[in-house]
Copies of this chain bind each other. A is one copy, B any other.
Amino acid sequence: MADRKPIESTSTAQDPLKQKGLSVTGSRRKILQLFMQQKGALSHRDIEKKAGAVFDRVTIYRTLQTFLDKGIIHAIPSAGNAVRYALCQGQCGPGHHDHQHIHFICSRCKHTFCLDHSVTPDLHLPKGYQAQDIDVLVKGVCQQCSTTSK
């Protein structure tokens, strides 16, 4: 505690935490960092592993929930029981999430990516059905894995 370095390296405008009115704490900073480094999606378990035993499991649950609420991250649906989370890109905020990108799940490396391509599939819904939100999940082989010979 003697020589702590100033963690105020980012201005309020740049810091998602401050932008959203959250107090800046060690765990939030760290978890946010993991998401930014990764540029991919992370499950609760992934975070637990990557963060080591630094935080309590409970803190991760609460932090993820807070980030979801504030529109800092979004949840990516999964057919198994391993929901993943990734940083929001657009102007998401408390209550509203607005994403128009594909979620790509690599069947080889198992990573999940957000592909920034506006997709508005030609939906022909039956009469009476009104679409509010669309999420496209694509399973396949990612760039990294398709170039790797293995």
A→B interface (CB under 8 Å): 75-81, 83, 102, 104, 107, 115, 117, 119, 121-144, 146-147
Q: Which residues of B contact A142 (CB under 8 A)?
A: 128-129
Q: Which residues of B contact A136 (CB under 8 A)?
A: 121, 123, 134-137
Closest to A143 in B: B128
Q: Which residues of B contact A146 (CB under 8 A)?
A: 128-130
Q: In the complex, what distance in Å separates the CA atom of A77 from the CA atom of B105?
A: 12
- Tell me if B79 and A81 are in contact (CB < 8 A): no
- Tell me if B126 and A115 are in contact (CB < 8 A): yes
Q: In the complex, what distance in Å separates the CA atom of A8 from the CA atom of B83?
A: 41
- Tell me if A138 and B131 are in contact (CB < 8 A): yes
